[in-house]
DNA sequence: ATTGAAATTGATAAATCGTCTCAAAAAGAA
DNA sequence: TTCTTTTTGAGACGATTTATCAATTTCAAT
């Protein structure tokens, strides 16, 4: 029994609900993805080339996007590339960033999350993901 | 005396400190930029084509990146494009973005802003700026 | 005002990243 | 097995931004 049974089941459920098929490539990519905290399509392409030299980059992109739709991954634009975060690896969180020393504090605030939902609903949107980053000075750098 | 004298002076100081030159193109682009809250290089290219049909797109990019280095602008990846925000602009707002059609809705929410301050204070931070982007589907794209 | 080194420009090639196309292959229900 | 639908891989393609480079402009020193 795999350590990641919950995620494997979640994906299979998503596949079933959407008339999608369980392929060797999807299983291979899922297996590799669940071992990561976050990865780019390109990095996964090179990593999996050892196991299957014919696995196409387009398939990696398609499958990582599928994971996003199934709720297993979350895409984040980071610099010029897209990072696919493993949602199961760490819960959702946002960031406080010190612009002076670069210190990063992770936080989670349910009230903010709820207000975000309200704002979205008021504008007819359904939120899939979000990004909240607070930039400023940490206590040490303020003095 | 221009309404944006402070920013014009700030740019000239930056130019002087870095052996950069004050060109007609830089003045033209600065003038247009300071009237905007945020703009893409492409949008500015089309906008300025009326005043100078030979102004190159590369010059727009180079100049907007220069404004970032001079502290007048802030680059923000927004979907596939880069938005250059005018940091001197007073009216802060955040964004709802439809991941399907690209629609962008601007919003302000004082309660979220207040909670952000609380989170920051609890962690010893003083917020200078922040970025909040909500990604999802607009009413039309949700079907 | 003239000169000349250094910076800048515009046109366009190139790089980057991700999606689209489509014929062949695979999945899976019957 | 048969048959329909989905998926795949390879590369073309599109969008955005940066690099290249010869010609032009700036500006400080004559
Ligand atoms: Mn959050
Ligand atoms: Mn805000
Ligand atoms: Zn700090
Ligand atoms: Zn939409």
Tell me how far apart the alpha carbons of residues A38 and A78 are, in angstroms, rounded to a whole number: 11
Domain ranges of chain A: 5-86, 94-136
Does the pLDDT value for residue B115 go beyond 90? yes
Task: State which fold the A94-136 domain adopts.
Answer: Dna Ligase; domain 1 (3.30.1490)
Model's pTM, two decimal places?
Answer: 0.77
Helix ranges restricted to H, A23-109: 24-33, 41-48, 57-69
Strand partners, B136: A127, B98
Encode chain B in three state secondary structure. CCCCHHHHHHHHHHHHHCCCCCCHHHHHHHHHHCCCCEEEHHHHHHHHCCCCCCCCHHHHHHHHHHHHHCCCEEEEEECCEEEEEECCCCCCCEEEEECCCCCEEEECCHHHHHHHHHHHHHCCCEEEEEEEEEEEECCCCCC
**CA gap B4, B17 in Å, rounded:** 20
Q: Which chain B positions have a beta carbon within 8 Å of A112's beta carbon?
A: 112, 115-116, 119
Q: Kindly indicate the confidence band of residue A1, based on its pLDDT and cuts at 50, 70 and 90.
A: low
Beta bridge partners of B31: none
Measured CA A2 to C1' D16 distance, in angstroms: 42
CA A23 → C1' D3, Å? Answer: 19
pLDDT of residue B39: 95
Distance CA A28, CA A55 (A): 10
Is the domain spanning B5-86 CATH 3.40.50.720? The answer is no
Residue A20 CA to residue B17 CA, distance in Å, equals: 60
pLDDT for A130: 87
Cα–Cα dist A70/A67, whole Å: 5
Q: Nearest residue on chain B to A142, judged by CA atoms?
A: B126
Q: Residue B125 in contact with residue A96, Cβ under 8 Å?
A: yes
Residue B23, CB, strand C, below 7 Å: yes
CA of B112 to C1' of D13 (A): 42
Size of interface A-B (CB pairs under 8 A): 101
**Rounded-to-integer distance, Cα B69 and Cα A87, Å:** 35
Give the C-alpha separation, A50 to A16, whole Å. 30
- pLDDT attached to residue A141: 83
Q: Which residue has the tokens 């004298």?
A: B5
* H or E, element range at A39: strand A38-40
CA-nearest of B98, B70, B105 to B84 is B70
Q: A interface mutation test: which of B78, B93, B113, B119 has the most A CBs within 10 A?
A: B119
What is the band of A11 on the pLDDT scale with cuts at 50, 70, 90?
very high
Residue B57 approaches strand C within 7 Å at CB: yes
**pLDDT of A39 higher than 80:** yes
Given this model, what pLDDT does residue A143 score?
Answer: 80
Residue with nearest Cα to nucleotide C11 C1': B56
Report the phi/psi class of residue B98: left, alpha or beta, with left for phi > 0 and alpha for psi in -120 to 50. Answer: beta
Beta-sheet strand order (sheet of B104-107):
A104-107, A94-98, A126-137, B126-137, B94-98, B104-107
pLDDT tens-digit series, residues B53-83: 999 999 999 999 999 989 899 888 877 889 9
Residue appearing with tokens 């690209």? B102
Among B55, B4, B2, smallest CA distance to B33 is for B4
Give A104-117 pLDDT, tens digit per residue: 788 999 999 999 99
């Amino acid at each position: 029994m795999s350590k990641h049974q919950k995620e494997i089941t979640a994906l299979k459920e998503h596949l079933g609900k959407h008339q999608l098929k369980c392929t060797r490539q999807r299983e291979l990519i899922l297996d590799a993805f669940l071992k990561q905290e976050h990865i780019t399509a390109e990095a996964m392409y090179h990593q999996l080339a050892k196991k299957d030299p014919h696995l196409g980059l387009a398939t990696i992109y398609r499958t990582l996007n599928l994971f996003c739709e199934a709720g297993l991954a979350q895409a984040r634009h980071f610099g010029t590339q897209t990072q696919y975060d493993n949602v199961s690896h760490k819960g959702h969180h946002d960031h406080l960033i010190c612009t002076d020393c670069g210190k990063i504090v992770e936080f989670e605030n349910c009230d903010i999350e709820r207000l975000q939902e309200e704002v979205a609903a008021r504008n007819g949107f359904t939120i899939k993901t979000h990004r909240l980053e607070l930039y400023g000075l940490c206590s040490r750098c303020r003095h």
